[in-house]
Amino acid sequence: MRISWNWLRQYIDTELTPHEAAAILTSTGLETESVELFEPVKGMLAGVVVGHVLECAKHPDADRLSVCQVDIGSGEPHQIVCGAPNVAQGQKVLVATIGTTIHLADGTSFVIKKSRIRGQESNGMICAEDELGLGRSHSGIMVLDATAKVGEAASAYLGLTSDHVLEIGLTPNRTDAMGHYGVARDLRAALVHRTGSPVELKLPSVDAFAQDGKGDAIAVEVHDAFACPRYAGVTLADVRVGPSPKWLQDRLLAIGLKPINNVVDVTNYVQHELAQPLHAFDADTLRGKRIVVRMATAGETFTTLDGKERRLDPLDLVIADAERPACIAGVFGGAESGVSEKTTSVFLESACFEPGTIRRTARRHGLNTDASFRFERGVDPKGTVFALERAALLLKEVAGARVVSAVTDIDNTLKHVPTVAFTFAQCERLTGMHIDHAAMVRALELLDFKVVKRDTRGLVVEVPSYRVDVHRPADVMEEILRIHGYDNVPLPERLTAPPVLHAALNAENLAAQLSAHLVARGLREIMTPSLVNGTRCIASSIATEHELVRLKNPLSAELDVLRPTMLFGALSAIAHNINRQKRDLRFFERGRVYRTTAKGTVETDMLAITITGRRSRERWRADDRRTELMDVKEELEGMVGRLGLDAHLGLVPKAHVLLNDAHELTINGRHAGWIGEVMPAQLKASDVAQPVFHAELEEQVLLDACRGIKAGYAEVGRFPSVRRDLSLLLGSDVRFDQLRDAVFAAEKKLLRDVDLFDVYQGDKLAAGKKSYALSFTLQDDEKTLTDDQVEKAMGRIRKAVEGVGAEVRS
């Protein structure tokens, strides 16, 4: 939410600086994330002044140049060489003096220096409007009114004023602060409560609102009082559509809005002033001179302001005329009923819509507008007519409009005023501090809460209509505390904390453990969209059409299904980084994959690991080799080992539609995921030109396996361990896990660890053969091993590996 400081000060008279105000607002809960300087013209034309051309003669050596003597109010005239065809004696002009920085529209800039142009000295520049950022014309210099004062700063002559913009990180419940007046109300409440200064809050007056005559009034009907609890409108005639005055344009530009025309700009202005969206219809386009607030009919189509034809849903609320929709209520206007340069009659709408109805419609059509942003969160139903009259008065001022009808106000809102009761003891217990009871009342009254009952125990207050989020005693206490100031909550001398009890393992803390482990291993967590391209999913055979979970109203045809695999998002992240010269990547992501089965849609929590590039950063002591599939396997083994599942992990070679050299991951014999090298076709589809290795695990399988493990304690061995090595010749299809399982089954008592420390495959071995070098660690917890015990154990280990098809070489 962008708040203009100059605009805000229309409602509250204060000598605070923008940064001081930002600090106070933050302490009230309106967190001000930044304060930025806003300049309507970059540099504010510093160094540019009004000049008077005293003499203008042709350049002796250039037909298209003139040599001018210009008075800039500094005493002696300045000679300036000018190339503009319209420069003439007697003109008042804008002169950039020596040292001035000129900022051009293309973002470049240059400094005015004393120079010689074709042999003539030039001490400045007479400027055209595009050179100063005041327009686009470069046909000649700007010629000012003859009354312009020589030497006056250009910014002062043109009325340019800088501003500061406060960027407020608004929480969804604070709809009352979605306009400048609401923010001013909070600032004033904090100032008065904390300092006692008599700061006044100035609400714009609408006392001058009156009907100016009769005209073709627009009749209004509301067919759905639940979806539209209040609807107000008024008709204006003799409207002259054109550019807005400078003050109005400056206000909108400061908060990042582009001025369109005076009618639309007024509706935007009031929306950002009072947090009440408005809409202006071209009254002459409304058939039957009637407005009907109704639900759309099935199959009804409507063309919005962006030129797109949209098929409406029966749950969409529309503002229609006698024959067709003219606007999607609270969301977006129509192309045919919008205000244009030809508009002379306007029907102005101000309404209160049911938030859920607007939210569903906005999501259904993929629209997110300033109006829907406010209506989705709830607007003040009592402010509807006030905002309408405020906008009508502004249109009279800036567009010459006449009010030719009375205000139509169809009000079906609940007349019950909500109240909240709380005790002072509750407030003290919740806030952790004692606040004077009179100070509580004062803080609430500054926020328009009305105290209807007060006794020694507590208060009963009426909630103002604009605070649609206040329902409970805790909500009212929060209002007291934030005006009192969160920064004023004292820190106790002693802090106490309850003992930390470790809850049973669940999905949340398992995920935290996995993430912490992988980050410590040098992987970076990524978050990619859960929407992917359905055509690619089907083409890659990762899912059939019936298995895909499709969106009914996708925002993009390229992102139309929920992902059946984590791979596509990871590849997109890798391509993004490679395009920015980051090629050595180690990613992990936690998320869900989706699939339609006979039992319905199944959502599965997954953990994905994706690695590409070099194994480690380029260093003179580092191993500069490329990542291999075994690097991903190493990360998996380290991770499951961290969970105590290393003895339960299995890898079985098995074909996969997206991965080469794929292995199915199992834990306790249960399918847990996949690991492999991404196929070239998938790399090409993602514009990745280097090998990528990928693994996916089902988190629920990990969680179930962890729950089945009982943690135990073993004393550190007091007796020395013994290591023995074996060199094996075996078939290329024999896996290390087969050897490991076989030797642990053969020697259960003394064998503590087995490791593979060398692998050889090459022309020195027969085809289909490879060589492994294994190390075995033996230890007895009760005594020192003897040579005889070691030899007997190794004998059992030799027989075990030979049983798997290995030949012991040494």
Residue type, 28: T
Q: Is pLDDT at 499 greater than 80 in this prediction? A: no
3-state secondary structure of 771: strand
The tokens for 620 are 């003179």
Say how far apart CA 589 and CA 607 lie, in whole Å.
Answer: 6
Question: Beta-strand (E) ranges in 714-808?
Answer: 722-731, 751-760, 769-778, 807-808
In this prediction, residues 616-639 reach a mean pLDDT of: 82
Say how far apart CA 52 and CA 89 lie, in whole Å.
Answer: 8
Q: What percent of the residues of the chain are helix, what percent strand, and what percent coil, each to the nearest 5?
A: 30, 30, 40
In this prediction, residues 643-662 reach a mean pLDDT of: 85
Q: Is pLDDT at 699 greater than 90 in this prediction? A: yes
Q: Is pLDDT at 382 greater than 70 in this prediction? A: yes
pLDDT score recorded for residue 121: 93
Residues facing residue 678 across a β-bridge: 659
Q: Are 183 and 29 in contact (CB under 8 A)?
A: no
**Residue whose structure tokens are 């961290």:** 642
pLDDT score recorded for residue 326: 93
3-state secondary structure of 239: coil
Percent of the chain's residues with pLDDT above 70 = 99
User: For residue range 200-257, what is the model confidence (pLDDT) as tens digits?
Assistant: 999 999 999 999 888 888 999 999 999 999 999 999 999 999 999 999 999 999 999 9
pLDDT score recorded for residue 669: 85
Calculate the CA 420 to chain-centre distance.
35
Q: Is pLDDT at 168 greater than 80 in this prediction? A: yes
Residue type, 88: A
Q: Is pLDDT at 616 greater than 80 in this prediction? A: no
Average pLDDT, the chain: 91
Q: Is pLDDT at 8 greater than 90 in this prediction? A: yes
Helices (H) and strands (E) counted in the chain, each on its own, are 20, 42
pLDDT score recorded for residue 502: 66
CA torsion, ordered 616, 620, 626, 632, to nearest 10 deg: -30
pLDDT score recorded for residue 6: 93
Instruction: Give the chain's end-to-end CA distance (angstroms, integer).
Output: 75
Q: Are 775 and 725 in contact (CB under 8 A)?
A: yes
pLDDT score recorded for residue 687: 94
pLDDT score recorded for residue 269: 96
Short-list 738, 724, 797, 806, CA closest to 772: 806
CA torsion, ordered 564, 567, 572, 575, to nearest 10 deg: -160
Say how far apart CA 254 and CA 265 lie, in whole Å.
Answer: 13
pLDDT score recorded for residue 503: 67
Q: Are 220 and 408 in contact (CB under 8 A)?
A: yes
pLDDT score recorded for residue 446: 93
Cα angle for residues 266, 270, 276 (degrees, 5° grid): 135
Q: Is pLDDT at 133 greater than 90 in this prediction? A: no
Say how far apart CA 311 and CA 303 lie, in whole Å.
Answer: 9
In this prediction, residues 363-372 reach a mean pLDDT of: 90
pLDDT score recorded for residue 763: 83
pLDDT score recorded for residue 139: 84
φ/ψ of 667, rounded to 5, equals: -130, 120
Percent of the chain's residues with pLDDT above 90 = 70
pLDDT score recorded for residue 798: 93
Q: What is the pTM of this model?
A: 0.63
Q: Is pLDDT at 622 greater than 70 in this prediction? A: no
Residues facing residue 605 across a β-bridge: 592
In this prediction, residues 304-329 reach a mean pLDDT of: 92
Q: Is pLDDT at 500 greater than 90 in this prediction? A: no
Residues facing residue 302 across a β-bridge: 310
Query: Which residues does 679 contact at the CB level (< 8 Å), separation at least 6?
Result: 658, 659, 660
User: For residue range 20-59, what is the model confidence (pLDDT) as tens digits?
Assistant: 999 999 999 899 999 999 988 888 999 999 999 999 999 9
Say how far apart CA 78 and CA 126 lie, in whole Å.
Answer: 11
pLDDT score recorded for residue 106: 75
